[in-house]
Amino acid sequence: MKAAIVQGVGRLLAIETIVDPRPKADQVILQVARAGICGSDLHVTEHGFVPVGTILGHEFAGTILEIGDDVRGHWKIGDRVTALPVLPCSNCDYCDEGLHALCETNRFLGIADVPGAYAEYVAVRGGMLQRLPSGVSFETGAMVEPLAVSYHAVERGNLKRGTKVLVVGAGPIGLAVALFARLKGLKTLVVSETSPERRRRALELGATHVIDPKMENLAERFTQIAGGPPDVVFECVGVPGLLQQAMDVVRKRGRVVVAGVCFEPDTLSPVTGIMKEIDIGFSMCYTPGDFEAVIDAIATGRADPQPMLSEIIGFADLPERFEALRTPSTQCKILIDPAMT
Ligand SMILES: [Zn+2]
Ligand SMILES: [Zn+2]
């Protein structure tokens, strides 16, 4: 099969022909229809967190091509699916709760020695598959994984009707937080974002208002819009300083949900949190239930993530486009179609 292979820091991905994967007893082989490029793929390759030879790709949808002995009966060849890109132990307390991403021995597809979906075929754990109803396209199917990250974060926010919400950052995660938060029946859902293109997408996806934090004072403008400070702030950027900013803006006894992945050390003032009795909740990945909820929301038309999709590319364009994404652009979600020449 054809696959995109990591060549090391500062080097382009190489499109190579390698041996097709074979299913282990608990696995199926998917023919990849679409695979998403994620910010974390850029991050791990930039910092050399994955070795040369890695096949990236943890966001994907496709059809079942081969089925391992232990999962026969549950699935048939040709089924359209996506999957949680995890290989957990499946019998610890976290796995019991569906929190596979927190399992001590979990390994993610597309990281290190577990091949991901920047390829024609990918091996997936049968127990992690999620069926795509006929109304859910491979495009949106491949976006279920990043959407489920945001869905999980929204659940961590304990939102109720009338909760005043601020989302900081309108990259794919922040946009999808807006999409699912809006389904909670909110009247005020404000997205703060410096890029005009991304602010436009945020309004399309469910934000009631947008703020450009470079041009306006975030706290003042939010209060002007909502008649008071936010009850819940979702931090969806992940750069130092923004957690403190979220704590400064949120109301007393409010909640901050951290969904932006900041790899660097950050500084914050605990006294801000104490004086306001703030709750801070960090959000990591998703459960199978989150995947099901996202697929259901798309299938029933309650959520339409289509505005997040900016482009579909083939392997020929992938190496150059992947590198180009390292510099800020107006792109949102780019999908790979392995069949495209
Ligand atoms: Zn991702
Ligand atoms: Zn486990």
Ligand 2 centre from 115 Cα, in Å? 20
Assigned domain for 299 exists: no
234 & 209 share domain: yes
CATH of the domain at 161: 3.40.50.720
Ligand 2 centre from 287 Cα, in Å? 12
137 & 12 share domain: yes
Ligand 1 centre from 144 Cα, in Å? 10
Ligand 1 centre from 198 Cα, in Å? 18
Instruction: Copy the structure tokens of residue 111.
Output: 């990281």
102-107 contacts: CB < 8 A, separation 24 or more?
Answer: 102/284, 102/285
Assigned domain for 161 exists: yes
118 & 191 share domain: no
134 & 259 share domain: no
| Boundary of a domain, candidates 242, 267, 282 | 282
- Which ligand is nearest to the Cα of residue 90, counting in written order? 2
Instruction: Copy the structure tokens of residue 64.
Output: 């079942």
Ligand 1 centre from 111 Cα, in Å? 11
Instruction: Copy the structure tokens of residue 237.
Output: 């950027």
Which residue from 172, 43, 53, 49 is spatially nearest to 119, judged by alpha carbons? 53
CA distances from 327 to 39, 41, 209, 252, 273 (A): 11, 14, 27, 37, 34
pLDDT digits (tens, 9 = 90+) for 260-318: 998 899 999 999 999 999 999 999 999 999 999 999 999 999 999 999 999 999 999 99
130 & 111 share domain: yes
Assigned domain for 290 exists: no
Distance (Å, whole) CA 316 – CA 95: 39
Structural domain of residue 160, as residue ranges? 149-282
Assigned domain for 32 exists: yes
134 & 213 share domain: no
Ligand 2 centre from 325 Cα, in Å? 34
Instruction: Give the bridge partners for 14, in sequence order.
Output: 5
Token pair 């999962």 in the structure block, residue: 71
Distance (Å, whole) CA 253 – CA 190: 19
> CB under 8 Å to 69, separation ≥6 — which residues?
25
Distance (Å, whole) CA 156 – CA 283: 7
Assigned domain for 291 exists: no
256 & 319 share domain: no
- Which ligand is nearest to the Cα of residue 148, counting in written order? 1
Assigned domain for 109 exists: yes
Per the structure, how many domains does the chain have?
Answer: 2
176 & 132 share domain: no
CATH of the domain at 71: 3.90.180.10
- Which ligand is nearest to the Cα of residue 127, counting in written order? 2
Which residue from 322, 323, 293 is spatially nearest to 149, judged by alpha carbons? 293
Distance (Å, whole) CA 265 – CA 50: 21
70 & 188 share domain: no
Ligand 2 centre from 285 Cα, in Å? 14
Which residue from 123, 4, 120, 106 is spatially nearest to 54, judged by alpha carbons? 4
Assigned domain for 288 exists: no
Assigned domain for 292 exists: no
What 3-state DSSP class applies to 63? strand
- What pLDDT is stored for residue 341 in this prediction? 77
Ligand 1 centre from 270 Cα, in Å? 30
pLDDT digits (tens, 9 = 90+) for 71-128: 998 899 999 999 999 999 999 999 999 999 999 999 999 987 899 999 999 999 999 9
141 vs 73, residue with greater confidence: 141
40 vs 144, residue with greater confidence: 144
169 & 225 share domain: yes
Following DSSP, what letter does each residue of 248-316 receive, concatenated?
HHSPTT-EEEE-S---S-----HHHHHHHT-EEEE-----HHHHHHHHHHHHTTS---GGGEEEEE-TT
Torsion angle of alpha carbons 164, 168, 169, 170, nearest 10°?
0
* Average pLDDT value for residue range 6-27: 96
107 & 195 share domain: no
- What pLDDT is stored for residue 208 in this prediction? 98
Judged against a pLDDT cut of 90, whether residue 331 lies above it is answered with: no
Ligand 1 centre from 148 Cα, in Å? 10
49 & 178 share domain: no
- What pLDDT is stored for residue 111 in this prediction? 86
Ligand 1 centre from 108 Cα, in Å? 11
